[in-house]
Amino acid sequence: MNACVDIPALCAITAACRAHGGTVHLVGAGPGDPELLTLRAARLLQQADVVVYDHLVGPGVLDLIGHQAERIYVGKQRACHSLSQDEINALLVRLSQAGRTVVRLKGGDPFVFGRGGEELQVLAAHGVPFEVVPGITAACGVSSYAGIPLTHRDYAQSCTFVTGHLKDGSCNLDWVALARPRQTVVIYMGLSGLSTICAELMAHGLPADWPAAVVAHGTLSRQQVVVATLATLAQTVQDAGLASPGLTIVGEVVRLRDELAWFDAASQAMSHFPHTANIGA
């Protein structure tokens, strides 16, 4: 496997950053399953002086952090923020200017609804060196574990990612564009407004029986998948007791769930390789 990875080049990046004093590595933690981390992410977690992490980073990923690293939780949940975004930005600047090697760890991919761009803008303004380590975004990872392909030649020739919770707290999306056929719509952070989302999509042209699904705790052993229609999804999710974090998938590809579902506790136990906690040793 190492033959495909330019380890000296990766080490050179880290060394160059350290030569400038502190640095920030913006790292995607993936959708939850620690086996889905990139090799670069796992190595950085073991080398960091401090890891600043979010609510959506799973415990299995946190287990990969080196024993020497300080852990700082800055989790942001709906209506419950341990630190404001401005405070997080200031923390990253302060830690890096103190000469520390910082891993800023975010669930999924930091550039897909992860506010990674906002944080890097602040670092750039303060002259702080940084790098970005992509992660598997929730849309790709969770849909795969749910057995719902995001594109399919028979059902969807495009895929759109949107957030169901805008910066001002509203859910005012481009409903006309989202209600078009032959596409898949993946909605992040949409559980609180799910009834509104479904109603708007139907009001703008999608039929009441249009397939839709919600996946909660995707890629983890407690993953739950609810498949319904736009007319019934909100009530079905409520009846099932699904809670955040959850991902909503709308489109005809949801019809493939019964045929392609592969992930359950039994398949997880059989298919996973031994834990990779010593990957950076």
Which residues are designated catalytic? 54, 76
Rg over CA atoms, the chain: 20
Tokens of 264: 């359950």
- Residue 162 to residue 178: CA distance in whole angstroms: 9
Alpha helices in 35-137 (DSSP H): 39-47, 59-62, 85-97, 116-125
Q: Which of 159, 54, 46, 34 is nearest to 105 (CA)?
A: 54
- Residue 192 to residue 207: CA distance in whole angstroms: 22
Cβ pair 279, 46 in contact under 8 A: yes
How many residues does this entry show for the chain? 281
Tokens of 123: 């670092």
